[in-house]
A and B are shown apart, each in its own frame.
Chain A
Amino acid sequence: MQGYSYVIQRRVYLFTTYFLLLLGATVMILPFLWMISTAVKPANEVLIMPPKWIPSHFEWSNFVKAWNAAPFGRYFLNSFFIAIATTVSEVVTTIFAAYAFAKMDFFGKKPLFLAFLGTMMIPGEMLLVPNFILMTRLHWIDTYYALIIPWITSVFGIFLLRQFFMTIPDDLWDAARIDGCGRLRFLWRIMVPLSRPGITSVALFKFIGSWNAFLWVLIMTNNPNMRTVPVGLSFFRSDVGTDYELLMSASFMAMLPILILFFVAQKQFIQGIARSGLK
């Protein structure tokens, strides 16, 4: 009898859990579904209330129109190149910096780290004009330098990875040292493999951030050949209205690489957030 009620209790518990999860999942996925449905809708069905989820006919030509509205081929190429270059560079620089802050002792470490964190308090928009002037003086406007070099490290990445490195016991370093291992070797052989989820998180945050970057790219480039996908997306909105069906089909295409990346790296990503206690 007792076992029976336990089974019922357990079932009610599971049912409630899954029901709530399903509810949450539905809420999260609705905008995504709206995007897909709008991407293949004829223009006059986009804003119907209540929303028409299945269009009266599928307007596949939206994709062609959206693709041809701007040089998206080139935009994708640039987005990929910039996102990969900044991601790889940031991972390398943050590993070194985070290791120094987490495991080494040097003069002025604490104030330096605080100064680093302090830079996160300054809103990026405020620095836009000074940065533009700096890039102009360097003659970097309209080059990949302006799109990549200022982004090859990030304080957030350093902070995230430092927290990660700090959880790795110092005993490992002592043991390695006894065996004649140097700092660099220890870092690459021990710390990095042990911190894979953290590093993956840093990389993913960067990749997504870089993929979505809009204002910086717009301000630092004039040549359409140097621009990226989000600049292309802004093309479908104007001050008097939005071509939602084209915007959504372009957004869908723009989001695919990120989606694939997330599926591939999902496990690492979630572990990374859970382990460092950060969202």
Chain B
Amino acid sequence: MLRKSLMFVAILSLLVFGAVVTGAADQVEITFWHAMSSGHQPTLQALADEFMQAHPDIKVTLVYQGHYGDLSQKLLSAVAAGTPPVMAQMYEDWTMKFIEADALVPLGPSISQDVIDDIPQSFIDSNTYVVNGEKVLMTLPFNKSAMVLFYNTDLVKNPPKTWDELLQTAKDLTVDNDGDGTPDQYGFGIRPYTEFFINFFHQAGGKILNDDMTKCLINSPEGIQAMEYLLNLKQYSLYQTSYLSGPFGNGKVAMYIGSSAGTPYVAKASEGKHGWMTAALPAGPKNGDGIIQGTNIGVFQLGTTQAQRDAAIEFAKFLISKEATLQWAEETGYLPIRKSVVASDEWKEFITQHPEAEASGQMALAGFVYPHHPNMYNIRQSIATAFEQVMLGKATPKEALDAAAQEIDTEYLGE
């Protein structure tokens, strides 16, 4: 019995230790870590395949690394260990950490000025970092999404164009059929996340931080104005922390503001139930801009060879080419990141067949982005907390925003 067991253990350990993974290639191989799950990965793979056909000496290996949270954790660990991939999708606050570790190759010098001029300014801004006192285009925009207004076309004929119209339409469409005090249909839907509030804040003319990033301005009059407006709008809104595409599809919510990347989920949830469409955001007192979200592409110099870096820059340039960005935007719902693509006949042809994509194209040109600060993640959390407290009636707009501003000033903006 004992001998048999020992044999078993021995065989097992042989099995375990014997397993070796091999892999070798003659071409330059570049790995690209991304977070594009089942819906968008096929398009990314198709683009990589097209690129490899044109460049037989380069092999692009796409590696799915989970969601953004997982990807960031993985990239941070890999940079700490000195083994990052050749290129990866990255958000601005992670990028700042990689720049601090001197891990990235600046991509700006490899991109011609006419290409840079063809990219909307907000995208350029979000990819430009101050390195050693100079502004450098470090990364390139990739899967960008804008905020749009989703509306049920069976209920809304003319989508609201201003805050006042939005409030009025939401009020008109909030219906309590059985008179139990709880509406059976809501005019609007609110999910409490930072970007949603920041959009209204920006449209009121607010700025999150002062120019030298030493003080938080979220408790400015614009902040209070945005918060009070949303508190008013909340009376006619379904308020929930989960995605609104579900209740929107079921006809419980007539309109909501969400990321254009969520379009496929809205389409699925609404299918066979009611018509729907997207519109540019209703404009606030100062502007009608929308926040741009989504990641950029960065190329690592840490632990990579010159040949790999050159190949990766080539691939990054391909991904922001007109052809690739058109295909990417058409198939995934992310924004076209070239102005000439938005103006092109192909795009116009595409939006006659997919009118829901028009609004995101418009919003791509009217975008704004978060300021670059290494603690942006925590700053966003503080703002989200303030927003939630006001929505749940636990604090007045002034109380909540003052508290958030103070927390941000002392905890996240100090030296």
Contacts and interface: CB of A to CB of B under 8 A. Distances in A.
Interface stretch (A129-137, A154-162, A195-203, A270-278): A129-137
Nearest to B23: A223
A47 B250 CA distance: 8
Contact of B39 (A70, A143, A189, A238): A238
Given A237-B67, A238-B39, A44 B271 contact: yes
A240 B77 contact: no
B342 to A, nearest CB: 21
A188 B2 contact: yes
Contact of A223 (B21, B81, B261): B21
Contacts of A92: 5, 9
Contact of A49 (B1, B73, B252): B252
Nearest to A141: B83
B67 A219 contact: no
B73 A128 contact: yes
A238 B38 CA distance: 9
User: Contact size class for B?
Assistant: 35 or more
Given A226-B21, A231-B66, A238-B39, A129 B77 contact: yes
Contacts of A132: 77-78, 80-81
Interface string B241-267: 001011101101000001101101100
A236 B83 contact: no
Contacts of B33: 222
B111 interface: no
B246 A47 contact: yes
B21 A225 contact: yes
B186 to A, nearest CB: 13
Interface residues of A, number: 49
Contact of A235 (B8, B38, B80): B38
Contacts of B35: 239
Contact of B38 (A44, A69, A85, A184): A69
Contacts, number: 132
B65 interface: yes
A163 interface: no
Interface string B14-48: 01110111010000000101010111110000000
B316 to A, nearest CB: 19
B128 interface: no
B328 to A, nearest CB: 15
B265 A240 contact: yes
Contacts of A184: 2
B25 to A, nearest CB: 13
A143 B19 contact: yes
Nearest to A152: B16
Contact of A44 (B64, B83, B259, B268): B268
